Amino acid sequence: MLALRKFAPEPGIRLDEVDEPGKPGPGEVLLSVSAAGICGTDLHIADWTAGYEAMAATMPVTLGHEFAGHAVQVGAGVAAPTVGSRVVVRPSVVCGRCEDCRSGRSQDCTHRTGIGIGRDGGFAARVLVPAENCIALPDGLDDALAALTEPMTVSAEAVDTAEVKPGDTVLVIGPGTIGQGAALFAQAAGAARIVVAGRDDPARLATLAALGFPDGIDSAGMSLRSALERAGLPTSYDVIIEAAGVPAVVPEALDLLALRGVLTICGIHAKPASIDLTRLVRRHQQIRGSYRAPLATWPRVIAFLAADPQRMRRLISEQAPLSDAVAAFARAKSRAASKIMLLP
């Protein structure tokens, strides 16, 4: 079968013919992958930016951690899913033994392995996954929308971590899929105004406008404050969600954060950010980190996607065959596309 793989700890990915996975072992499921999304993490891995060095030990490895499909075979001891069931996959394979796992906080497992990072993922026709990582899908949610579940859980967790309240003003920095989802969940939480900022990002800001968020700014060539002022938008926010992964915007974000405001960081940064701690203290501001969501968030996000599929479909800019994966990665990197779904 065709698979998109990372072969070495250096820039580059390639399509390769590989053997199909063998029969599922105890507790495993063999899935036929229907749709798999290209994520910002995949782009970082392809470019081999800092932060993914631990992957080197698992290469060559098939990428892809945002995917949905149906079970074609199940291993011993698997009660669900059953053959033919449609599922979306949680990409974190946890150990089940560490203190966090035993305490019901498996999202914080200290020995987890990432599907599509530390073991073969969904950019292939078939993949073996643990049955416990499979979450059933409702009939009304198509496969491409279902494959949005993983990034949308990241967005939901960022909004939950920020504790967005009714009436809050919210600035989302980074108009990619995570930022788009953050805007959607902030709206659902009752935010009074949501502004989204990008830089050289016309296509993704257009996606946000189509989703119903007209207050989008492009800060190319100027500071965030200047871009907001030029657009006649607020320059003080109760909550700021940073989903760009650009260290330089962190001090800019703090400059726009209201007294006692909360800055939540969910972008992955290749280097440290510099901040004015004295100003942070005197303005009683908070910085919070947000990463993967607990299991309980997944059914909530699936229901959210299924409740308004016509609107959620605007999150997907295009669908492409797996054979077009390398070119699709280039389009995603150029930000000419928002979310690209590969169809193995």
Q: Active-site residues: which are they?
A: 41, 44
Please write down the long-range contacts of 228-234, taking CB distance under 8 Å and 24 or more positions apart.
Answer: 228/195, 228/197, 228/256, 233/195, 234/169, 234/193, 234/195
**Residue 297 in contact with residue 275, Cβ under 8 Å?**
no
Distance (Å) of CA 205 to CA 37, 193, 209 = 19, 16, 6
Phi–psi pair at 69, nearest 5 degrees: -175, -165
H/E element holding 73?
strand 67-74
Residue 88: what residue type?
V
DSSP state of 124: B
Nearest-CA neighbor of 175 among 341, 342, 304, 335? Answer: 335
Cα torsion through 267, 268, 269, 270, rounded to 10 = -160
Query: What residues are paired with 309 via a beta bridge?
Result: none
Q: How far apart are CA 121 and CA 128, in angstroms?
A: 8
Q: What is the Cα 171 distance to its own chain's centre? A: 18
Nearest of 21, 61, 315, 97 to residue 185 by alpha carbon: 315
β 2-6/286-289 pair status: unpaired
**What's the rounded Cα separation, in Å, for the pair 150 and 135?**
11
